[in-house]
Amino acid sequence: MSLKPKRTSARRTGRRVSPIRRTRRSSRPVRPTAALPAANHSEPYVSVIIPAMNEARTIARVIAGARGVHSRCEVIVVVNGSADNTAEVALSSGARVILFEQPLGHDAGRSIGAEAAKGEILLFTDGDLVIPASQLRPFVTAVSRGADIALNNYSGPVRKRVPHPVVLAKYSLNILLGRSDLNGCSMTAVPHAMSRKALEVLGSALLSRPPLAHARAVMDGLRIETVHKVPVGKLNAVRRKAGSYDPLQQVIIEDHLEAVSLLLQRQGDRAGFSDGSRRREMVR
């Protein structure tokens, strides 16, 4: 019996056995997706929302995966601030393209896509994550069976004693929300799906700030489930950081702190947790 605790991180060394591959660095040519019905359904049941910024290399395969989640499906690609031909590739893959010259900002594409969506179920993913339909379908299935929000069952790397600040913030927010069973799973991570009802409760604008949307969803009593694990940590492209300082981390942490503020505003100074048998009046 090994003395080492079980590996919980998505980061591994060596060969990747997952069918999902990070394609950002690969030189494989983009395969045509002609075999699939390359058009959106006129009365979609599922809307797949894909924000994309300079993802011409991956977008066709991302759309191909998305299209396979349901027979009545629309794919909405929110192309923003792209200098490459992401929009053209998406169009020729049969997606509805909403185009912005300027970048919308982190996660803002989710709000735009949600506003345009016509389906009963909204599935959110990202333009640089090539995920096969089989890995996306569980999220749709969960919502069609009654969940309001179906989350990726991925908490980030937790092998170290002290994890990455964003992982710590996600866990802590869930603890304060009384949902420590969700571990580090959150609407911050894609893929995740939601019901139209959830969208109406939260409003599309809030989706640009996922930790706030997540907190609201829990507080408003929406049914939130972790559904299926897609280890997106492996898939995420390594992006620019300013040395050890990551400005994106700052933004995500701020959103989590604001979510905590919202929670304390609505549920009181102790977030609804008991004070036990403390007799505070004993000390003046």
Partner 1 sequence: MVLMPKAKLGTKSQRRSGSSATSKSTVRRAVAGTATVNKSAARRPPQSLALTVGKTSQALPVLHGTLSVIISARNEEETLLRLLKQVARLKPTEIIVVLNGCRDSSFERARLSRQAIVVHCPDSAGHDVGRAIGAKLSRGDILLFLDGDMVIPAPQLASFAAAVDSGVDVALNDLDSLLPPFGFSDDVIRSKLFLNFVLGRSDLGVSSMTAVPHALSRHALESIGYRELMVPPKAQAISILNKLRVEKTRLVNVIKHNRLRPANTGVGNPVEQLIVGDHAEALLTVLSQRVTSNFLHAESLQEQRRQLALWRNGL
Give the residue among 59, 132, 157 at the shortest CA–CA distance from 99.
59
Query: Which residues from 23-82 bind partner 1, rule CB under 8 A?
Result: 53-54, 80-81
Contact 255, 212 (CB under 8 A): yes
Considering only 15, 25, 145, 278, the residue that binds partner 1 (CB under 8 A) is 278
Stretch that binds partner 1, among 22-30, 31-39, 60-68, 276-284 (CB under 8 A): 276-284
Considering only 19, 71, 180, 197, the residue that binds partner 1 (CB under 8 A) is 180
Strand order in the sheet with 149-152: 96-100, 73-80, 46-52, 121-124, 192-195, 149-152, 224-228
Tell me how far apart the alpha carbons of residues 52 and 133 are, in angstroms, rounded to a whole number: 18
Tell me how far apart the alpha carbons of residues 241 and 261 are, in angstroms, rounded to a whole number: 28
Considering only 78, 167, 207, 217, the residue that binds partner 1 (CB under 8 A) is 167
- 83 touches partner 1 by CB under 8 A: yes
Considering only 26, 203, 261, 266, the residue that binds partner 1 (CB under 8 A) is 261
Tell how strand 192-195 and strand 149-152 pair up.
antiparallel
Considering only 21, 22, 106, 229, the residue that binds partner 1 (CB under 8 A) is 106
- Tell me: cis bond preceding 103? Omega within 30 of 0 counts: no
Contact 11, 234 (CB under 8 A): yes
Contact 77, 52 (CB under 8 A): yes
- Minimal distance in Å, beta carbon 259 to partner 1? 11
- Minimal distance in Å, beta carbon 79 to partner 1? 13
Considering only 176, 182, 185, 224, the residue that binds partner 1 (CB under 8 A) is 176
Give the residue among 23, 98, 99, 112 at the shortest CA–CA distance from 61.
23
- Minimal distance in Å, beta carbon 121 to partner 1? 27
Tell how strand 46-52 and strand 73-80 pair up.
parallel
Query: Which residues from 107-146 bind partner 1, rule CB under 8 A?
Result: 107-108
List residues binding partner 1 (CB under 8 A). Answer: 1, 3, 5, 8, 53-54, 80-81, 83, 102-108, 155, 158-163, 165, 167-169, 171-172, 175-176, 180, 208, 239-240, 247-248, 251, 257, 260-261, 264, 269-280, 282-284
